[in-house]
Amino acid sequence: MSKKESKIRTTLNDISKLPKLKLKKLRLDNIDRIEELLVDFSKYTPRTPEQIAEGYHYEPSHFTSVKELFIYGTTKYSDRVFILDKDKPRDKHYREYTYETFAKDVEAMGTALTSKYIEAGEPIVIIGENQYDWYVSYITALCGAGIAVPLDKELPENEIELTINRAKAACVIFSNKLKGKFEKLIEKEKLPTVKCFVEMRSEEPFDGHVVGFDALLMDGRVMVAGGDDHFMKIERDPDEFSALFFTSGTTASAKGVMASSRQLANNINAVSAYVKINESDRFFSVLPLHHTYESSIGFLLAFGYGSSIAVCQGLRYITDNLKESRPTIIIAVPLLIEHIYSTIMRTIKKSKKEKAVAYMMQTTNALKGIGIDIKKKAFREIYDGIGGRLKYIVSAAAPIDPKVGQWFTDLGVIFLQGYGLTETCPISAVTPEYDTRVGSAGKVIMGGDIRVANPDEKGEGELVISTNTLMMGYYEDEEATADVIETDEKGRRWFHSGDIGRVDSEKYVYITGRIKNVIVTQNGKNIYPEELELLLGDVEEIKECMVYGKEVPEEKELIVTARVIPNYDFIKANYGDISLNEIYRLIMHHIREINKKTTNYKAIKGLEIKDGEFIKTTTQKIKRFAEIKEGKILNIEEE
């Protein structure tokens, strides 16, 4: 191996941000004693005829606003634990905050903020890592303090500046990890509309610009104790502009999505019709809170059920956090879910228990089919490695390989998917827990509709969405709003999603790809990269991949090309220290085998080995166009 290849190999081995999950070697010594697991199975029943019947759903909630949801949850579940967080990631134990404590902190913050610093109803930017102060700030804004504007903490300084100014923010609440950036912006007077800055996890008094979050709470508590109750008396129309979410992209291309409090509350009502959550459930917060899926389904949903939320302290701490917090619900992007799956599978293989696990899955599936569910007991050791209580895994933000969803289903986890976009705030479809369909992106929410525009012979076309979660429109951009939303003769608004898919007779949604990602051949054939990426996902020598149509000079046809990050650890363990050229040929061999399974026009003809990480959003979705334009690849010289 050359020095250049060795350097590249080292760099690529160090780039992954995914956690190093650790699971103990499996014994699975209960397989030969399966009869001991069959205890008290009388309580298990298969799905009822009513659940199988078309149109079945649970009785949904009927919240009309986030404030109503907040008051309901903090009153009914006041003494229950709501948020589990740590001051420092390495702290030994989580600090627990009850619903009552949370309610008092929201009232204190709202009282102080709207009395001393801003006018109620002005935009409030919230930016930082997932933490207790973020949760309090978001609800404070939505309960009357102002318009909540969550921002991505990974934005570069110039985009933070431009986005805050676009929002005309009166207040910015930021985490102390971003303190340096905001000190520069304040010093250079780059944010003229901002009246005050609030630093999370700080006790510093107001210095003319910045006030510590804890100092603000202290002021508010004193005011509330003195009889000031103006904040909780603020009444806002549930249908007025209450939250502003910026879509992924650069500041120039990112659109501001306007949402009302009613639209956010409708997400909770929609999920409650398909999924039963209770007081014993615990969410594991790993997606960034500025993402609408996490701030709605991973946060607001808990209020309706008295559930708790454990904050992941970062991907490097995920194993310890899972074991300590013992969550029942994980909402994550496919990349993380597939990583957890791969880690468990490696552990099973190292333990030489592949056949035993497969046998147990077949046996427990057969038993569950007659109403006897012993999966949690049969796979106790696997469950213990991921906290011990996992009940739901929810995949969001991008398509996932169906085999991963099926494996977790066979393990006994209820595998759910949610579909929507920032513009649908975000839920437009979700999997009913009583009738899961692995491979589907979910069932259209109650009262909503998704139709297929200009379907082809397969029934596939652009998905056009009409739900009660649909955005009010794009912020200060009526033209862009008109481009994606049409109103029919009945006054119903329809959003053109840009997603390609189909909807079956039972309203289950299946996503094929994105219009903007589609590769169109010279003879009009459509190639959806996501289909090919799922096939490449089965190749163990590939860690991550992206398929796109590459423009080649003097070629009329786009070249279907796979850009991949090899799985160097797997390759080294199975093939030894082979050269980059050999790795290229090895992966190309697998691609040729995949091509045999597809029609000719879909064949992958080009291969690129990625240099470094893919360019991604904070939810770990590849920014395809940025990657095509700016991403670097390794120069593989032919031998």
Summarize pLDDT for 619-628 with one digit per residue, the tens.
788 888 789 8
On whether residue 592 sits in a domain, the answer given is: yes
Amino acid 95: pLDDT: 97
Amino acid 19: pLDDT: 62
Contact 452, 511 (CB under 8 A): no
Amino acid 53: pLDDT: 63
How do residues 427-437 score in pLDDT, each as one tens digit? Answer: 999 999 999 99
How do residues 205-215 score in pLDDT, each as one tens digit? Answer: 999 999 999 99
| pLDDT band per the 50, 70, 90 thresholds, residue 16 | very low
DSSP 8-state class, residue 196: E
Ranges assigned E (strand) in 287-412: 308-311, 329-332, 392-395
Alpha-carbon span 125 to 326, nearest angstrom: 32
**Exposed/middle/buried for 490, CB within 10 Å: 0-12, 13-18, 19+?**
exposed
On whether residue 160 sits in a domain, the answer given is: yes
On whether residue 540 sits in a domain, the answer given is: yes
On whether residue 13 sits in a domain, the answer given is: no
For residue 546, what are the β-bridge partners?
A: 563
Amino acid 10: pLDDT: 32
Token representation of residue 162? 């431009």
Pick the more confident residue, 45 or 341.
Answer: 341
On whether residue 133 sits in a domain, the answer given is: yes
* Amino acid, res. 139: I
Coil/strand/helix, residue 151: strand
Residue 20's CB is within 10 A of a number of other CB atoms, namely 11
* Interior angle at CA 232, CA 230 and CA 237, nearest 5: 105
On whether residue 203 sits in a domain, the answer given is: yes
Q: Which residue has the tokens 């390609």?
A: 500
Helix locations, 489-550, DSSP H: 529-536
Alpha-carbon span 30 to 17, nearest angstrom: 36
For residue 549, what are the β-bridge partners?
A: 560
Residue 505 scores a pLDDT above 60: yes
| Interval 91-101 mean pLDDT | 97
Q: Among 236, 253, 272, which residue terminates a domain?
A: 236
Nearest CA to 464 out of 438, 436, 442, 496 is that of 496
Residue 54 scores a pLDDT above 60: yes
* Amino acid, res. 84: L
Helix locations, 188-308, DSSP H: 213-225, 261-272, 292-295, 301-303
Ranges assigned E (strand) in 24-103: 81-85, 95-98
On whether residue 319 sits in a domain, the answer given is: no
Alpha-carbon span 415 to 436, nearest angstrom: 7
| Interval 536-559 mean pLDDT | 90
Q: Which residue has the tokens 């559930």?
A: 307
How do residues 570-583 score in pLDDT, each as one tens digit? Answer: 999 999 999 999 99
Amino acid 553: pLDDT: 87
Domain that holds residue 201: 95-236
Q: Among 216, 236, 256, which residue terminates a domain?
A: 236
Phi and psi at 498, nearest 5°, equal 85, -5
* Interior angle at CA 60, CA 395 and CA 512, nearest 5: 30
Amino acid 28: pLDDT: 66
| Mean confidence (pLDDT) of the chain | 89
Least confident of 3-17, 46-60, 118-132, 290-304: 3-17
Pick the more confident residue, 173 or 631.
Answer: 173
Contact 181, 123 (CB under 8 A): no
Q: Which residue has the tokens 């899926």?
A: 293
Coil/strand/helix, residue 504: coil
Q: Among 210, 236, 262, which residue terminates a domain?
A: 236
Amino acid 401: pLDDT: 85
Amino acid 55: pLDDT: 74
| pLDDT band per the 50, 70, 90 thresholds, residue 568 | very high
* Interior angle at CA 529, CA 525 and CA 534, nearest 5: 125
- Look at the chain and report how many structural domains it folds into: 2
| pLDDT band per the 50, 70, 90 thresholds, residue 514 | confident
Alpha-carbon span 297 to 309, nearest angstrom: 11
How do residues 117-171 score in pLDDT, each as one tens digit? Answer: 999 999 999 999 999 999 999 999 999 999 999 999 988 898 899 999 999 999 9
| pLDDT band per the 50, 70, 90 thresholds, residue 20 | low
For residue 196, what are the β-bridge partners?
A: 171
On whether residue 192 sits in a domain, the answer given is: yes
Least confident of 303-312, 539-548, 594-603: 594-603
* Interior angle at CA 104, CA 100 and CA 107, nearest 5: 140
pTM: 0.83
| pLDDT band per the 50, 70, 90 thresholds, residue 617 | confident
Residue 112 belongs to domain with CATH number: 3.40.50.980
Amino acid 250: pLDDT: 42
Residue 4 scores a pLDDT above 60: no
Going 199 to 200 to 203 to 205, the CA torsion angle's sign is positive
Residue 540 belongs to domain with CATH number: 3.30.300.30
| Interval 299-313 mean pLDDT | 97
